[in-house]
Structure 1
Amino acid sequence: MWGDMSPWKQLPDALDPRARHLVVQLRRLKDHRGLSLQALASRTGYSRSSWDRYLNGRVLPPQQAVVAFARACDADAERLLALHELAVAATDGTKGAVRGKGPGRPRNPEPAGQAGTAGQIERAERAVRAGAALKPGVPEGEPGNGDGRSGLRPWVIASVAAAVTVLTVLTALLVITPGHGGEEHGGEAQGGHVATADSAATDPEQQPFVFRPGKDHPCPVHRDDDGLLYAGYSKTRTALIGKGSTQWAVVEAQCLLRHHGFPPGLADGIFGSRTERAVKRLQRDAHLVVDGVVGEDTWGVLRK
């Protein structure tokens, strides 16, 4: 079972962040369940060599493989399907990972970009969190379960569309609201006060993250009433984030890494190579699995 549980190969540098995000989640779930590629093959019906290509970023898995993977790992299939939809849109027509042959190919994919990538991943995951997870017992023929009739259930698509509308309104409000014009000058707003973590992300689950190149968010790390450390950007203790992720949870992790003496560079909310190296150093120091991905175990160390 453990014959192929050696450290993962580095993903291709050219891999789009949305495709990378999907692969990182699949890798993490596989390792968490302690499944070898052969065991995964026997549980899903897809060959060991196919999973080797899927999990090393050379080919995107088809939808049916993602559903089978979720069942094999007892994972949230709807969330993985939402990430898969974004990954397919990101790599369709590009020279990144070759898209697997599967149904539900989206047409007119959105253009790539750091801010667009972050918004798409966040909107998809937020829409999925609003509904129930796909149950392993649902037949293949049900819509949204990999039968080719629909990549996602209609209510998921509607939720994503609603999230896009909310994002547009919030962006417009940020542009016209006084006090947001001085972010690029040491955090001083027009009203003369200095922006803090709380003013930037009072409720990270409700405010969309927008990546700003060169922006180094303040890191007022403090110990809360529960005895754990927080920087004011996210309360998560379980979110999976890895190279290519762009969200408030990344800012939180970067601040906590800096607090613990593992500087990740700027606390800018994008999980790049420097952040990945800092995470690996922390994991090595804490005797965790050194994979450069922040999950439940790594959050546990960061929060102490």
Structure 2
Amino acid sequence: MSRWKELPAELSPQVRQLVVRLRRLKDHSGLSVRQLAAKTGYSAKSWERYLGGRSLPPREAVEAMARIGGDDPTRLLALHEVAAEAWGARRATPERPQRLRLAMVAGAVALVVAIATSVVLIVRFTDGSSGEERAAPPPKPPSASRSKRTYDCRVERSADGRWYAGNSRTRDAILAYGQAGPEVAEAQCLLRRAGFPTGEIDGIYGPLTQGAVKRLQQRDGLVVDGIIGPHTWKALRG
């Protein structure tokens, strides 16, 4: 069974979902990268980039992979269209994080200058007064409180013989690092039931959840990629 390298952390969930599906189709076909290149007309190095998440495959390559893997090309091309939009948006705004950091630094500098000026003025106005009239230090800005949601785990075996925790009944949603929501909470509950705790059931796909998924995949002989797809859901549902 193929042991894929972990995908780049900066990949969007849409691109990650497409690459995971392509990897599974390649595994299902039993072809090597060279054989895949011979059948599709795209070089082995190109497929290594596509399957490694370093480059977005063209529409024709995705359609060829669907035919080889016996998948529905319409559904796979729909995934490719969504992934292409996410990929284009990421490439079109590569400087936004840097501009945001510069704006934050400039704002912090302005705040420091304003506070320093206020302190100087207070000292001047209170110079020569009694010790009881010393100026109070400037108030600290209030810290932003971030509410964190938690989910319940009501794990029960349903009439269909599968385990459900009461947060979602999905069996094929693609979940990856950085995502959040009730589907992630459902997976966290089922991972805990399987003996792979993720810490707090907060519905956030963080490093603890990813590590638990990898351990479950390793135990059940699945592709150890830390991504929850239909095969991992099947292992979780039991």
TM-score bin, normalised by smaller chain: 0.5 to 0.7
Aligned to 1:87: 83
Give the alignment's TM-score, normalised by structure 1: 0.54
- 1:94-173 matches, cutoff 5 A: 94-95=90-91
The change in CA–CA distance for 1:45 and 1:285 in structure 2 (over 3 A counts) is same
Distance 1:244 1:297 in 2: 20
Aligned to 1:71: 67
1:175-233 per-position Cα deviation (integer Å, ceiling 9, x unaligned): xxxxxxxxxxxxxxxxxxxxxxxxxxxxxxxxxxxxx9732221111111233211123
Higher relative CO (Cα under 8 Å, sequence separation at least 6) belongs to 2
Large movers: runs of 4+ above 6 Å: none
Distance 1:249 1:232 in 2: 10
C-alpha contact 1:20 1:244 (8 A) present in aligned 2: no
More helix by share: 2
How far apart are residue 95 of structure 1 and its match?
A: 4.4
The change in CA–CA distance for 1:286 and 1:67 in structure 2 (over 3 A counts) is closer
Q: Is 1:264 aligned to 2:195, yes or no?
A: no
Aligned to 2:9: 13
The change in CA–CA distance for 1:23 and 1:288 in structure 2 (over 3 A counts) is closer
C-alpha contact 2:17 2:174 (8 A) present in aligned 1: no
Specify the code of the residue in structure 1 equivalent to 2:60: Q
C-alpha contact 1:215 1:266 (8 A) present in aligned 2: no
Specify the code of the residue in structure 2 equivalent to 1:91: W
How many residue pairs get aligned? The number is: 186
C-alpha contact 1:231 1:256 (8 A) present in aligned 2: yes
- 1:160-239 matches, cutoff 5 A: 214-239=148-173
Q: Is 1:283 aligned to 2:201, yes or no?
A: no
Q: Indicate the SS of the match to 1:215.
A: coil
Give the alignment's TM-score, normalised by structure 2: 0.67
C-alpha contact 2:59 2:77 (8 A) present in aligned 1: yes
Specify the code of the residue in structure 2 equivalent to 1:230: Y
Distance 1:213 1:77 in 2: 42
C-alpha contact 1:18 1:244 (8 A) present in aligned 2: no
Aligned to 1:55: 51
C-alpha contact 1:222 1:230 (8 A) present in aligned 2: yes
Distance 2:204 2:83 in 1: 18
The change in CA–CA distance for 1:247 and 1:46 in structure 2 (over 3 A counts) is farther
The change in CA–CA distance for 1:40 and 1:284 in structure 2 (over 3 A counts) is same
How far apart are residue 271 of structure 1 and its match?
A: 3.5
| Structure 1, gaps ≥5 residues long | 99-211
How far apart are residue 9 of structure 1 and its match?
A: 1.8
Distance 1:287 1:14 in 2: 27
C-alpha contact 1:19 1:88 (8 A) present in aligned 2: yes
2:34 is matched with which residue: 30, 38, 54?
A: 38
Distance 1:213 1:54 in 2: 38
Specify the code of the residue in structure 1 equivalent to 2:56: L
Q: Indicate the SS of the match to 2:90.
A: coil
Q: Indicate the SS of the match to 2:6.
A: coil
1:292 is matched with which residue: 226, 231, 234?
A: 226
RMSD: 2.8
Aligned to 1:122: none
| Structure 2, gaps ≥5 residues long | 95-145
2:208 is matched with which residue: 274, 278, 281?
A: 274
Specify the code of the residue in structure 1 equivalent to 2:152: P
Larger Rg: 2
